[in-house]
Amino acid sequence: MSSANYSSRNQPPSNRQLLILLGIFAGFTIGIIWLIGWIASSIVWLIPPSVEQQLGAVIVPVYDRLAPPSPAQTTLNQLLDRLEAQLPPQQRQNRDYQVLYIPDDTVNALAIPGDRIIIYAGLVKQAQSENELMMVLGHELGHFANRDHLRSLGRAVIVQLAIAYFIGDVGSIGSIAVSGIETISNAQYSQSQETQADEVGLTLLQQTYGHVAGATDFFARMSEKQALDIDFLATHPAPARRVKEIQQLIKQRNYKIEQKLPLPPTLS
Ligand SMILES: [Zn+2]
Above 80 in pLDDT, residue 230? no
How many alpha carbons lie under 13 Å from residue 230 in its C-beta half-sphere?
18
Cα–ligand 1 centroid distance for 189 (angstroms): 6
Q: How far is the CA of 55 from the centre of ligand 1 (A)?
A: 20
Given the DSSP bridges, would you call strands 98-102 and 109-112 parallel, antiparallel or unpaired? unpaired
Considering the chain, what is the average pLDDT of its residues? 88
How far apart are alpha carbons 111 and 187 in whole angstroms?
10
**Ligand 1: centre distance to CA 2 (Å):** 67
Question: According to the model, what pLDDT value does residue 10 have?
Answer: 65
Of the ranges 88-97, 216-225, 245-254, the best mean pLDDT one: 245-254
d(CA 183, CA 221) in angstroms, rounded, equals 26
CA distances, 29 to each of 33, 36, 85, 164 (Å): 6, 11, 46, 26
Is the pLDDT at 1 greater than 50? The verdict is: no
The pLDDT tens digits for 136-186 are 999 999 999 999 888 888 888 888 888 888 888 878 888 888 888 878 877
User: Structural domain boundaries of the chain?
Assistant: 1-43, 48-267
Q: Which helix (H) or strand (E) holds 192?
A: helix 191-209
Q: Return the pLDDT at 178.
A: 83
Q: Which residue has the higher pLDDT, 191 or 204?
A: 204
The amino acid sitting at 197 is: A
Query: What confidence score (pLDDT) does residue 5 get?
Result: 53
For residue 27, pLDDT beyond 60: yes
> How confident is the model over 84-107, as a mean pLDDT?
91
Give dist(CA 150, CA 128) in Å, integer. 30
